């Protein structure tokens, strides 16, 4: 089976998949550099728990700062996004998911921060179908913590997997089904998070 076939197979079987080989290290390094530059230039803001302005800021629940990526920007021109658009078409051909757009943000968790257990699909909107996380950290050891913990779709007390945010590691999961959390990290943790959506792009 090709690497992509393996990814599709585990997504189908368990609702999530991890690959350490699909995304080249050069893409990860380029996006880390861009993300760090955007951080230095003050383009990140503290993440909200939901997407509307009324949703609260609570660093004990969600401790990351984020920077949304404009597809028309230099960052949006990274090859990763064109590749993800292709992957989106393949997922549609195979599973009739009706994916029509994608949205991504860089995320930065300071040491001590995490993100409590949640589902990515917002209660009032079912448009987020597939969650994608790419880890941008230049290196990461078990002692650095910050694992992504995945739980069973029908039992969010039953942990199924812990994933270290290692360089260029890609995680894909069903936004409506997989409860997950980010454990507190001991180092600054850089990532790219995104969603494949069934509605048109917001921007
Ligand atoms: O960074 C991760 O491992 C997951 C982040 C996450 O759950 C989110 O942004 O919704
Ligand atoms: Fe999430």
Split at pLDDT 50, 70, 90, the class of 154 is confident
Q: Is pLDDT at 151 greater than 60 in this prediction?
A: yes
Angle (deg, nearest 10), helices 79-95 and 3-14? 60
Domain boundaries, the chain: 3-43+63-197
**Stretch 139-154: mean pLDDT:** 97
Task: Give the contacts of 20 (CB within 8 A, at least 6 positions apart).
Answer: 166, 168, 169, 170
CB contact at 8 A, 190 and 137: yes
Cβ-count burial of 199 within 10 angstroms (0-12 exposed, 13-18 middle, 19+ buried)?
middle
Structure confidence at residue 61 (pLDDT): 86
- Candidate from 167, 180, 194, 197 with most ligand 1 atoms within 8 A of CB, to mutate: 180
Split at pLDDT 50, 70, 90, the class of 53 is low
Q: Give the mean pLDDT of the chain.
A: 93
Whose CA is closest to atom 3 on ligand 1? 148
Structure confidence at residue 48 (pLDDT): 79
**Stretch 127-133: mean pLDDT:** 96
For ligand 1, whether the C-beta of 180 sits within 6 Å is yes
Q: Is pLDDT at 20 greater than 60 in this prediction?
A: yes
In this structure, which CATH number among 3.40.50.1820, 3.60.15.10, 3.30.420.40, 2.60.120.620 belongs to the domain 3-43+63-197? 2.60.120.620
Q: Is pLDDT at 128 greater than 90 in this prediction?
A: yes
Split at pLDDT 50, 70, 90, the class of 60 is confident
Q: Is pLDDT at 139 greater than 90 in this prediction?
A: yes
Q: Is pLDDT at 52 greater than 80 in this prediction?
A: no
pLDDT in tens, 64-80: 999 999 999 999 999 99
Structure confidence at residue 145 (pLDDT): 98
Which phi and psi (to 5°) does residue 44 adopt? -90, 155
Count of CB atoms situated within 10 Å of the CB of 59: 14
Higher local confidence (pLDDT), 191 or 61: 191
Report d(CA 49, CA 62) in Å as an integer.
7
- Which numbered ligand comes closest to the C-alpha of 115? 1
Count of CB atoms situated within 10 Å of the CB of 75: 23
- Which numbered ligand comes closest to the C-alpha of 149? 1
Q: Is pLDDT at 114 greater than 60 in this prediction?
A: yes
Q: Is pLDDT at 180 greater than 90 in this prediction?
A: yes
Structure confidence at residue 54 (pLDDT): 52
């Amino acid at each position: 089976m090709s690497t992509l076939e393996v990814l599709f197979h585990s997504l189908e079987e368990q609702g999530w998949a991890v690959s350490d080989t699909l995304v080249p290290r050069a893409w990860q390094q380029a996006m880390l550099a861009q993300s760090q530059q955007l951080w230095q230039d003050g383009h990140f803001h503290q993440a909200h728990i939901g997407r509307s302005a009324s949703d609260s800021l609570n660093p004990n629940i969600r401790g990351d700062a984020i920077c949304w990526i404009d597809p028309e920007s230099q960052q949006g021109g990274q090859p990763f996004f064109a590749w993800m658009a292709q992957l989106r078409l393949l997922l549609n051909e195979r599973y009739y998911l009706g994916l029509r757009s994608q949205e991504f943000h860089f995320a930065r968790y300071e040491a001590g921060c995490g993100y409590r257990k949640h589902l990515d699909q917002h209660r009032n909107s079912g448009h987020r179908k597939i969650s994608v996380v790419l880890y941008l950290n230049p290196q990461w050891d078990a002692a650095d913590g910050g694992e992504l913990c995945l739980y069973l779709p029908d039992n969010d007390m039953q942990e199924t997997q812990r994933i270290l945010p290692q360089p260029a590691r890609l995680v894909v999961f069903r936004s409506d089904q997989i409860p997950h959390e980010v454990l507190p990290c001991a180092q600054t943790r850089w990532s790219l998070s995104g969603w494949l959506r069934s509605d048109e792009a917001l921007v």
